[in-house]
Structure 1
Amino acid sequence: MSSQGPTVGSIEVPSSLSALHDVCKVILDQLARYRFGEEDVFAVHLALEEAFSNAVEHGNRGDPTKTVRIDYTIDENQVVLRLTDQGNGFDPRKVPDPRLEENITEVRGRGLLLIRAYMDEVQFTPKGNSVRMVRLRHPDPEPDQA
């Protein structure tokens, strides 16, 4: 793979789930440019969808006059995404664990669990209205192990 510098960018879109497709396209096109494998692409796509949906629905409370900003840095070794909404924030430590028996039948609450499972680093700002997610390039599985 030829060495190329990082791609750094920012997207700011209306706080609407209808903007999700365009946001994902920008990021996934960059992953293709750096030839990330299917496992990495899946992980980043899933985490991006979950974090964006949370920003729209919970952070900005579905208010289309607010925005969601996505800052990204992508290079040959990693994908770094920061999503920031204009909401009041939240304390991620207070989100119930969906794996506990008392929460197992809840329809909601699995997004953060999925984000943490698929990304290598997940950090929230103290205010709780911005999340930084990092996915390190994982080696592609051997053809026999796929």
Structure 2
Amino acid sequence: MTQLAQFDVWIPNDTAEARDVQERIIGLMEQNAWPMRDCFGVRLSLEEALVNAIKHGNRMDPDKKVYIACELTEDEVIVVIEDQGDGFKIEEVPDPTEDNNLEKPGGRGIMLIRSFMTGVGYNDKGNRLTMSKKLGVVNKDETD
């Protein structure tokens, strides 16, 4: 497994800054001939995860920052996103596909991330997400 790129950065709690890092990661994938389908799924997952960190984790506080680390190998991209918020309990997030939750906000971004990424995990505090995508692996949820 050859490492092609690696970086980490702290950004202001700002969606425009987050978008720049998102595009940097997708650009690295495209430069290394990752399939469009994989790039699409990672882009969408990054957007959801970064917005969650900024809006829900850091609660739009301009004094807080978001940490992003990325490692790209020839067959996997791994991204860590950490906010400076209080965290959350993943098991307390309602399942947005249950009938009583269909019209409630919340949980859809996490569901989307899980459907496109091959690995998704949170630290115990709930303020750091580690997600990974294996090259060319199509999740079951992507084909439904």
Q: TM-score, normalised by structure 2?
A: 0.90
Match of 1:11 in 2: 9
Q: Which has the larger radius of gyration?
A: 1
- Segment drifting more, 97-106 vs 3-12: 3-12
**Structure 2 regions of 5+ residues with no counterpart?**
139-144
CA contact (8 A) 1:12 1:69 kept: yes
Q: What's the CA shift for 1:107?
A: 3.7
Which of 31, 35, 38 aligns to 1:37? It is 35
Which of 110, 114, 123 aligns to 1:125? It is 123
Q: Deviations over 1:89-132 (max 9, x none)?
A: 11111100000011101243300000011000000000110000
- Segment drifting more, 19-28 vs 83-92: 19-28
> Matched residues in 1 for 2:58 and 2:95: separation?
23
CA contact (8 A) 2:13 2:61 kept: yes
The number of residue pairs the alignment matches comes to 138
Match of 2:74 in 1: 76
The secondary structure found in structure 1 opposite 2:3 is coil
Q: TM-score, normalised by structure 1?
A: 0.89
Q: What's the CA shift for 1:16?
A: 1.4
CA contact (8 A) 1:34 1:75 kept: no
* CA-atom RMSD in angstroms: 1.6
> Matched residues in 2 for 1:138 and 1:95: separation?
29
Post-superposition, which runs of at least 4 consecutive aligned residues in structure 1 deviate over 4 A?
none
- Segment drifting more, 11-20 vs 93-102: 11-20
Q: Is the counterpart of residue 58 in structure 1 residue 56 in structure 2? A: yes
The secondary structure found in structure 2 opposite 1:10 is strand
> Matched residues in 1 for 2:137 and 2:67: separation?
30
- Segment drifting more, 131-140 vs 46-55: 131-140
Match of 1:90 in 2: 88
The secondary structure found in structure 2 opposite 1:128 is coil
> Matched residues in 1 for 2:132 and 2:90: separation?
17
> Matched residues in 2 for 1:120 and 1:5: separation?
18
Q: Deviations over 1:13-50 (max 9, x none)?
A: 10111222211121111101211001100110011000
> How does 1:17-32 map onto structure 2 within 5 Å?
17-32=15-30
**Structure 1 regions of 5+ residues with no counterpart?**
141-146
CA contact (8 A) 2:93 2:106 kept: no
